[in-house]
Amino acid sequence: MTRIQMYDTTLRDGSQGEGISFSLQDKLQITKKLDDLGFDYIEGGYPLSNPKDSEYFLQAAQLDLKHAKITAFGMTRRKGVDAKDDIGMQALIASQAPTITVVGKTWDLHVTEVLRVDLDENIAMIRDSLAFLKSQGREVFYDAEHYFDGYRANPEYALKTIRTAEEAGADMVILCDTNGGSLPEVIVECLKAAQNELSIPVGIHCHNDCELAVANSLAAIDHGAVQVQGTINGIGERCGNADLISVASNLALKKTGYEILRPNGIARLTELSRYVYEIANMNFRSGQAFVGSSAFAHKGGMHVHAVNRVSHSYEHINPEVVGNVRRVLVSELSGRSNIVAKTTKYQLNHDQQLMTKILEEVQNLENTGYEFEAAEASFDLLVRKIAGTYEPKFERIHYRVNVETDAAEEPKTEATVKLRVNNHTEHVVAEGDGPVNALDRALRKALSPSYPNLERMHLVDYKVRVVNSSEGTAARVRVVIESRDADEVWSTVGVSENIIEASWLALVDSVEYKIFKDEGVASDSKLTASASVT
């Protein structure tokens, strides 16, 4: 088995992605999570670039890491400055990181037009920087920036730069497809040329501008690269980096002869992926390979029918091996197999007449604008209502929302909600940042005395979509609300020509689902129909 080193640069290269910013605490939390799964190297940042990165290395040195090595990133010395006197070199040493990665120019275009130094001076900068860092007792990696573009433009010079890195003491040379424009066959050709020049190992670092970062990384590994650099979920500048989630999954599950992460690391990749999305305050990418919520989602009735019989007929792996789950979607395209699969936990699948009625109701509602594939909590409530097992936890009497501006023309929103709960009436008023927020606060205020666990629930996403745009301002709108508590995330849907009413319907479903869930009803595997279907 060949150990492939998983080198994560989420905290440095990943943070260069648009809209991504990690706090110091974020970086430390992600570091611990990566170490827990068995990543080999964690690149924490560039200690000279900002105080946060400098502080990160000081605090990371105090972490009780079980496997990973913290790595500091920096550039070669500046022109005309001795390496020992260069502030960048000094910052790298002061970071206390056991491993240091230095990036240097490989493409002669960058040397002469970007750095604006002569080719020999760039060679000296590489040699002096790496030799100095090795003299300080550190493990040193050399990132050959733009190697593939550089090799195609001037192969002799590109090879001279990486040969200099080895002569100066680099422990490994990492070949970087910095512009992300290379094809797999080019990656292999240029990698072989580097291997012919070097006696030390090589690694690979690919960007995703042609949607080939994972394919290029795997091609390099198959031809001898022993380290792969990338980020969790492929985040990073422009189109991002190689997604280490997909790289690890393919190496572990699709190829043979490679050892990666810890023994249970692959089974926790979905957890890791969503953890980083959450920390970065990003929406999950539902279609993401292996770990996306749609990666094992089935909608077409024929597909669901086949999967119910032989799961691998429409799934390339068992979703559980990467910590994911199979999902069956319900929509107007669904067949009876979808409904059967979705209602298995209720043990209603023996009632074919009920299955037909549920399917017909789903199709009728979707014809008016509903969608249940992204609102499974609303679907659960719908099944209970059709099966006759639904018992409302409160009765809605009326609600009112008032929006007016003050003297400074600042809008003020107030919602009034009147409910009957446990045989008594709750009539409450709440203010909010807009109509939906005001309604949410009023609804909770009315229900919390009877259902205190609602305080632990909060809304995490709110989406509005016009259903029939040809009707203009009279068009129906579909509102999908995503809610969560400490245990689960769920979505609900409401449709109306009135956006406030659509939001109210989705809010009520969300709260009712939470109440049922806490009572153990929403996931009760022994639920049975209490009324016959006519």
For residue 523, what pLDDT is reported?
44
Q: What is the pLDDT of residues 21-80, one digit of tens each?
A: 999 999 999 999 999 999 999 999 999 888 899 999 999 999 999 999 999 999 999 999
pTM for the predicted model, two decimal places:
0.70
User: Do 211 and 64 lie in a common domain?
Assistant: yes
CA atoms within 13 A on the CB side of 346: 28
CA distance 138 to 359: 65
Residue 341: inside a domain: no
- Phi first, then psi, for residue 296 (nearest 5°) are -130, 40
Q: Going along 186-326, which residue ranges are E strands?
A: 202-206, 227-230, 258-259, 297-298
| Distance set, CA 532 to CA 103, 347, 351, 379, 382 (Å) | 71, 15, 10, 20, 16
For residue 183, what pLDDT is reported?
98
Residue 134: inside a domain: yes
* DSSP, res 243: B
Q: What is the pLDDT of residues 433-473, one digit of tens each?
A: 889 999 999 999 999 999 999 988 888 888 888 877 566 65
For residue 328, what pLDDT is reported?
66
> Taking the mean position of all CA atoms in its chain, how far away is CA 56?
23
> Taking the mean position of all CA atoms in its chain, how far away is CA 503?
27
Tracing tokens 């009539």 back to the chain, one arrives at 427
Residue 273: inside a domain: no
The total number of structural domains that make up the chain: 2
Residue 363: inside a domain: no
User: Do 61 and 210 lie in a common domain?
Assistant: yes
Least Cα distance to 107 among 76, 145, 163, 77 occurs for: 145
CATH of the domain at 59: 3.20.20.70
Residue 331: inside a domain: no
CA distance 260 to 249: 10
User: Do 81 and 223 lie in a common domain?
Assistant: yes
Q: Locate 209 and state its tokens.
A: 């501008």
* CA-based end-to-end distance of the chain: 63
Last residue of a domain, one of 230, 262, 294: 262
Least Cα distance to 42 among 288, 321, 261, 222 occurs for: 261
For residue 343, what pLDDT is reported?
57
| Distance set, CA 15 to CA 12, 127, 233 (Å) | 5, 29, 12
Collect the ranges in the chain with pLDDT lower than 70.
299-312, 327-350, 373-374, 469-474, 521-534
For residue 531, what pLDDT is reported?
34
> Taking the mean position of all CA atoms in its chain, how far away is CA 129?
36
Residue 336: inside a domain: no
**Collapsed DSSP state (helix, strand, coil) of residue 534:** coil
Residue 302: inside a domain: no
Whether the Cβ atoms of residue 515 and residue 408 lie closer than 8 Å to each other: no
Q: Which domain holds residue 478?
A: 395-518
- Looking at the DSSP bridge assignments, the partners of residue 174 are 143, 203
Last residue of a domain, one of 226, 244, 262: 262
Query: How are beta strands 327-328 and 395-405 bridged, if at all?
Result: unpaired
CATH of the domain at 402: 3.30.160.270
User: Do 215 and 67 lie in a common domain?
Assistant: yes
Residue 438: inside a domain: yes
| Encoded amino acid at 164, one letter | T
